[in-house]
Amino acid sequence: EPEVTQTPSHQVTQMGQEVILRCVPISNHLYFYWYRQILGQKVEFLVSFYNNEISEKSEIFDDQFSVERPDGSNFTLKIRSTKLEDSAMYFCASRDSTNTGELFFGEGSRLTVL
């Protein structure tokens, strides 16, 4: 069964460093998302991406965050200058063009900022 894959599974970084989280969505999907879950909190929407541009973003997704689809398969989330509060599990998700709203999630990348 096709799946969304994410790398790395866990990254530890120093505060102020840049981090890039990578995702390979399901191949025929056209809509891509990043969500995050801070430990003990809800899963939160960060950003949606379609046709090489951001469709929607949350208040959390400020100027330190960016997303990119650098080639036909990868979808990346960059955090420019990490803060302690960026420590979370980051989930990539994708969906096809049918109007069901069903998202397929990756296994997540755990980011720990020290």
Partner 1 sequence: DQQVKQNSPSLSVQEGRISILNCDYTNSMFDYFLWYKKYPAEGPTFLISISSIKDKNEDGRFTVFLNKSAKHLSLHIVPSQPGDSAVYFCAASRTDSWGKLQFGAGTQVVVTP
- Judged by CB under 8 A, which stretch of 11-19, 61-69, 79-87, 88-96 contacts partner 1? 88-96
Secondary structure class of 114 (helix, strand, coil): coil
Residue 107 binds partner 1, judged by CB under 8 A = yes
Q: Which of 21, 26, 93, 113 binds partner 1 (CB under 8 A)?
A: 93
- Considering just the CA atoms, what is the radius of gyration of the chain in Å? 13
Angle at alpha carbon of residue 38, lines to 34 and 6, rounded to 5°: 40
For 73, residues 6+ apart whose C-beta sits below 8 A from its C-beta are 24, 25, 27
- For partner 1, give the closer residue by CB, 45 or 78: 45
Q: What is the binding site for partner 1 (CB under 8 A)?
A: 4, 31, 33, 35, 41-45, 48, 56, 91, 93, 95, 99-108
